[in-house]
Amino acid sequence: MRNGIAKRQEALDQADLVAGNGLMSRRALLTAGGRMTVAAAAGGMSALAVSRSAAAEALSVPPSMTVPGAPMSGYGQPSPYEEAVQRGVLKPYGDLAPGTGVSMTPLQHLAGTITPNGLHFERHHNGVPSIDPETHKLLVHGLVKQNLIFTVNDLLRYPMTSRTCFLECSGNSFFNSFPKPMQMPCGMIHGLISGTEWTGIPLATLLDEAGVDPKGKWILAEGADSAGMSRSVPLDKVLDDCLLALYQNGERLRPEQGYPMRLLVPGWEGNMNVKWLHRIKVTEGPTETKDETSKYTDLQPDGIARQFTFPMGVKSVITHPSAGLAMQGPGFYEVSGLAWSGHGTIAKVEVSADGGNSWAEAALQEPVMSMMLVRFRLPWRWDGSLSRLMSRAVDDQGNVQPSHEAWAKQYATGPAGNLYHCNAVQTWEITAEGEIANVYV
Amino acid sequence: MRNGIAKRQEALDQADLVAGNGLMSRRALLTAGGRMTVAAAAGGMSALAVSRSAAAEALSVPPSMTVPGAPMSGYGQPSPYEEAVQRGVLKPYGDLAPGTGVSMTPLQHLAGTITPNGLHFERHHNGVPSIDPETHKLLVHGLVKQNLIFTVNDLLRYPMTSRTCFLECSGNSFFNSFPKPMQMPCGMIHGLISGTEWTGIPLATLLDEAGVDPKGKWILAEGADSAGMSRSVPLDKVLDDCLLALYQNGERLRPEQGYPMRLLVPGWEGNMNVKWLHRIKVTEGPTETKDETSKYTDLQPDGIARQFTFPMGVKSVITHPSAGLAMQGPGFYEVSGLAWSGHGTIAKVEVSADGGNSWAEAALQEPVMSMMLVRFRLPWRWDGSLSRLMSRAVDDQGNVQPSHEAWAKQYATGPAGNLYHCNAVQTWEITAEGEIANVYV
């Protein structure tokens, strides 16, 4: 038999409510003194309390215990039962340009903060090149004392550092720049964001070896893909924290992440993190490449495009519950999501379950790292009524994630409007039937 | 032409030397004031300084820029050029029991601290079961107020937490318990260690819901594999920090890591982290299962086996350079490796390049987390002579990694001797020919 919901409900009424429509204090669940309220809060959680005989039945030997299992393997893969957990591919030109587009991290199926390499989002302008690491070369030239050429084997001997950080396409959440909210899974709206541990060589080391001319104030970084993807980066940022990344989550880069090497520009627009890097040129000013003029500029209401919005804005999104998942009846849920800021470190995430009328502060999972995804969590008891879940992040520089309305006002809208830097608050509307929709508030 | 080695060597002589046989201060490389010594320290680093015409030639369009690349994909895989980077499989019973054995993380090919899920080590006693998450159940019973049965869908609604930590088989480095040092790659000696981000439910939450009888002081955790792998864990540890893990590095557990759920016992023997968990029984004392009596005990010189050595000892290993790699001539190398302790947080790692005559403190990559792998690094200029590289870790509880001799004295040796808990200092001997061997010092 199911546990007595009524009895749990009674205890729940004692639980700390911290905001409207059922948001609960995480302390009530996690402190020793409050532990008994967990079962109470469970309400609609559905552990089955069973008799001794039912327990004995549960102890009956499952099929997996009756036959030897599969052997060890050289490189593991996800369970066949999880094969639906894939990146969502969008090819705007279809088979005319099958390598132009994106694949998006399925945020609604993931937990924690690290993205597995196989599910890190992709954004390619003309596909993933196949590059032989034995022949690939990196040229450092331009305003330097000596031109330098590095092979991969050269670079593997240099002093390295590791940086765990997010990478976000500046076009992430572009569907939310549309006049009407689109209905699709959370990961298809917001999944051009991932977080991993990168290891490589501080670019400062290589530039010091080349010797930067005092006139040099920018670099041009160019990829060896057939789009010739290239971006300009101010030298101050390059010397501060940019890496020539060779490893991701411990192993060498995947092809779609720039194998054998990419630029890592922590916190800044994803496409500045040039993949398949084969050339760094030190320059006096920005090079004004096609990738920073015809694209990756922000069209404003007056028709003028703002150039060089480098850092990705402070942002958060609730991934559980979110579109692409379904509610399983009233009762307890953990509201959980990701927050990040290209300006620094997340200081606070607030959650609302009543469409923004009241807010409560969520718990942040340690370690909270600068320019890395942060997992936030807050307990919630859903009473089964129409509810609007929202999250709002604040970073340590005082930046506050804007409402959808405030965000949209900054930019030109409409079919040819601005697609970039959408960091507006996401609202998920939960219907009494347990469906979850994208709405603008 | 190559840079003038002699000129670099001259500058190198100015660099901070911090211990014998060429160990250099990392500060000399990384502080702004010391940056110019990087090129100097490079010595044997082999960036090619090139003329303008050679640079122009390097700019010639590589083949990858002349054809469209591959399209986006649902789930990414490593580069074909990295297909040699695999877990090393050992099957002691061969095809008689192909699912009994280990596969080991190729540490010498990895960097950073996160292990990608596909390369996390495996240790199975009778293979990897295939378990349907729709039918799998977890039973909590024994000394509890109410027996509880949880389905996977039940559990996905519970409050979760994430923990980035190492997992080490208590038999890791067992080859180094042999009387003579075995010659094989670093990962085949020490690769039963990996580090990942786990996400799941504090076991305390589930046990609180079941209601633990005051007589309950231990739990028995049993897996649904055909070895019926089962271990006893003291309740204090369970309530302190054990998780029912559902996710690893963001995605659901891989089959070989316990899909759909495993026990996570941070810092303690790997096989206590019972995979494919289907039963937790609260007991008065340890259950004395076969997996904690016939195995996973430590045979001492007097013939008595010590039972229940739970935490994994403080340990470190240099992964670069290490056996399985080859030196590329005299000059600059970064000595880099991993350190960890099941007792707490790594406080210090020292490195020696002269077989233990002198030591220098390595830099630790932030964030340094309790019971997680820590990457340490120290610059080294190899003069091409016979050298012995060693690392020695100290944790914040004052535990010091023992020498091989001191470690071996604690245990019975020989063919039937103790195989477990080998945390002795690893010495890599580098010959003048650039070969790297495992030696005992």
Report how far residue B72's alpha carbon sits from residue A254's, in angstroms, rounded to the nearest whole number.
12
Residue of chain A whose alpha carbon sits nearest to that of B260: A79
Give which of B204, B215, B199, B212 is closest to B261, Cα–Cα.
Answer: B199
As given in the structure block, the two tokens for residue A282 are 């030190």
pLDDT tens profile A119-177: 999 999 999 999 999 999 999 999 999 999 999 999 999 999 999 999 999 999 999 99
For the cut 50, the answer to whether the pLDDT of residue A291 exceeds it is yes
pTM above 0.90, yes or no: yes
**Res A195 pLDDT > 80:** yes
pLDDT at residue number B129: 98
pLDDT in tens, A46-80: 567 788 787 877 778 999 999 999 999 999 999 99
Please give the DSSP secondary-structure letter assigned to residue B335. Answer: E
Integer Cα distance of B95 and B324 in angstroms: 27
List the one residue out of A137, A158, A160 whose CA is nearest residue A148: A137
CA B273 vs. chain centroid, Å, equals 15
Distance CA B380, CA B209 (A): 55
Mean pLDDT, residues B128-133 taken together = 98
For residue A429, the tally of other CB atoms under 10 A from its CB is: 17
φ, ψ of residue B389 to 5 degrees: the values are -95, 135
DSSP result, B116-168 = PGGGS-EEESS-B----TTT-EEEEEESBSSEEEEEHHHHTTS--EEEEEEEE
Residue written as token pair 């309740």? B235
- Residue B396 has a pLDDT of 98
* pLDDT at residue B30 greater than cutoff 60: no
A97 near B68, Cβ under 8 Å? Answer: yes
Q: What is the pLDDT of residues B241-265, one digit of tens each?
A: 999 999 999 999 999 999 999 999 9
Instruction: Report the alpha-carbon angle B59-B64-B69, nearest 5.
Output: 145
Reply yes or no on whether the pLDDT at B364 is more than 70: yes
Residue B291: what are its φ and ψ, rounded to 5°?
-80, 0
Chain B residues with CB-CB distance to A3 below 8 A:
146
Domain B123-296 has CATH 3.30.450.40: no
Phi, psi dihedrals of residue B2, rounded to the nearest 5°:
-75, 155
Nearest-by-Cβ selection for B137 from A58, A116, A332: A58
Tell me, what's the pLDDT at B408? 94
For residues B257 and B123, is the Cβ–Cβ distance under 8 A?
no
> pLDDT value at position A29?
60
Q: Tell me the nearest-neighbour CA distance from A303 into chain B, angstroms.
A: 33
Label residue A172 exposed, middle or buried (CB < 10 Å: 0-12, 13-18, 19+): buried
* pLDDT of A82 higher than 60: yes
A125: Cα separation from own chain's centroid: 20
More confident residue, A11 or A380: A380
Is the confidence at residue A37, as pLDDT, over 50? no
Write the burial class of residue B15 (CB in 10 Å: 0-12 exposed, 13-18 middle, 19+ buried): buried
Nearest alpha-carbon partner for B269 in B300, B216, B306, B320: B306
- Which residue carries 């050429």 as its tokens? A149
**At B6, is the pLDDT very low, low, confident or very high (cuts 50, 70, 90)?**
very low
Confidence of residue B34 (pLDDT cuts 50, 70, 90): very low
Q: Average of pLDDT values for B53-63?
A: 83
Residue A188: list chain B partners with CB under 8 A: none
* B200-227 per-position pLDDT tens digit: 999 999 999 999 999 999 999 999 999 9
Nearest chain B CA: its distance from A221 CA (Å): 13
For B59, which of A49, A65, A279 is closest by C-beta distance? Answer: A279
The structure tokens 């000059």 sit at B331
Q: Which residues on neighbouring strands pair with residue A166, listed in sequence order?
A: A195
Which contacts (CB < 8 Å, 24+ apart) does range A52-55 have? A52/B147, A54/B147, A54/B149, A55/B139, A55/B141, A55/B147, A55/B149
Query: Confidence class of residue B3 from pLDDT cuts 50, 70 and 90?
Result: very low
Cα→Cα distances B40→A205, B284, B351, Å? 11, 65, 22
pLDDT at res. A44: 45
Q: Evaluate if residue A377 carries a pLDDT over 90.
A: yes
pLDDT value of residue B417: 86
Sign of the alpha-carbon dihedral angle for A344, A208, B113, A262: positive
What pLDDT does residue B1 have? 29
> Which chain A positions have a beta carbon within 8 Å of B252's beta carbon?
78-79, 82, 85, 109
Per DSSP, helices labelled H in A223-338 are: 235-241
pLDDT in tens, B306-346: 999 999 999 999 999 999 999 999 999 999 999 999 999 99
- Which residues have C-beta within 8 Å of that of residue A421, sequence separation ≥ 6? A170, A298, A309, A312, A313
Query: What are φ and ψ of residue A239, in 5° steps?
Result: -75, -25
Distance set, CA B397 to CA A3, A12, B242, B340, B400 (Å): 44, 41, 20, 12, 9
H/E run at residue B58: helix B52-58
Distances (CA, A) of B360 to A52, A146, B352, B399: 61, 34, 7, 18
Our CA-based measurement puts residue B300 at a distance from the nearest CA of chain A, in whole angstroms, of 31
CATH of segment(s) B1-50+301-441? 2.60.40.650
How many interface pairs between A and B have CB atoms less than 8 angstroms apart?
A: 424
Where in chain B are the domains? Answer: 1-50+301-441, 123-296
Which residues of chain B lie closer than 8 angstroms to A127, CB-CB?
Answer: 68-71
Tell me whether residues A375 and B205 touch, CB distance under 8 A: no
Cβ separation A47–B159 shorter than 8 A: no
- Quick one: closest CA in A to B101, which residue? A72
- Predicted confidence at residue A48, as pLDDT, reads 73
- Calpha distance B100→B146 (Å, rounded): 36
Per-residue pLDDT at B282: 98
Distance CA A299, CA B83 (A): 45
- Give the pLDDT of residue B54: 80
Q: Where are the beta strands (DSSP E) in B303-359?
A: 305-306, 315-320, 331-340, 346-352
Smallest Cα–Cα separation from B261: which of B280, B272, B242, B274?
B274
Task: Tell me if B335 sits within 8 A of B318, measured CB to CB.
Answer: yes
Q: How far is Cα B403 from Cα A172, in angstroms, rounded to an integer?
A: 52
Nearest to B336 among A45, A150, A160 (CB): A160
Q: How far does Cα A382 stand from its chain's mean position?
A: 26
Put simply, the answer to whether B126 touches A69 (Cβ < 8 Å) is: yes
Candidates B24, B72, B90, B345, partner chain A, best to mutate (most A CBs within 10 A)? B72
Q: What is the mean pLDDT of chain B?
A: 92
Quick one: pLDDT band at residue A6, thresholds 50, 70, 90? very low
Beta bridge partners of A223: A277
d(CA B322, CA A273): 31
Please count the residues of chain A: 441
- CA pair distance A239, A241, nearest whole angstrom: 6
To which residue do tokens 């015409």 refer?
B53
Nearest to A107 by CA among A183, A40, A169, A188: A188
Contacts of B362 (CB under 8 A, 6+ apart): B26, B335, B349, B350, B351, B376, B377, B378, B391
- Report d(CA A132, CA A121) in Å as an integer: 23
pLDDT per residue as tens digits for the range A86-120: 999 999 999 999 999 999 999 999 999 999 999 99
pLDDT tens-place string over residues A216-240: 999 999 999 999 999 999 999 999 9
Query: CA of A154, closest CA in chain B: separation in Å?
Result: 6
Q: Which of B70, B78, B365 sits opposite A127 (nearest CB)?
A: B70
Cα separation, B379 vs B331, in Å, equals 11
Placement of tokens 């998450």 in the chain: B133
Measure the CA–CA gap between B207 and B148, rounded to whole angstroms: 9
Residues in chain A within 8 Å Cβ distance of B54? 147, 149
Residues of chain B positioned with their CB less than 8 A from the CB of A149 = 47-48, 50, 54-55, 58
Asked whether the beta carbons of B310 and B304 are under 8 A apart, the reply is no
Q: Do residues B261 and B244 lie in contact, with contact meaning Cβ atoms separated by under 8 Å?
A: yes
**Which pLDDT score is estimated for B105?**
98
Residue A33: band (very low, low, confident or very high) from pLDDT cuts 50, 70, 90: very low
Distance CA B172, CA A90 (A): 44
> Do residues B107 and B338 lie in contact, with contact meaning Cβ atoms separated by under 8 Å?
yes
Task: Give the residue carrying structure tokens 């040699």.
Answer: B84
Q: With 80 as the cut, is the pLDDT of residue A28 above it?
A: no
Predicted confidence band at B51 (pLDDT cuts at 50, 70, 90)?
A: confident
Of B26, B50, B117, the CB nearest to A147: B50
What residues contact residue A157 under an 8 Å CB cut-off, 6+ apart? B44, B45, B46, B328, B331, B332, B333, B334
Q: For the complex shown, is ipTM > 0.85? A: yes
- B189 band by pLDDT with thresholds 50, 70 and 90: very high
- Read off the pLDDT of residues B291-310 as tens digits, 9 standing for 90 and up: 999 889 999 999 999 999 99
Rounded alpha-carbon distances, angstroms, from residue A78 to A192, B122, B129, B319? 21, 14, 14, 27
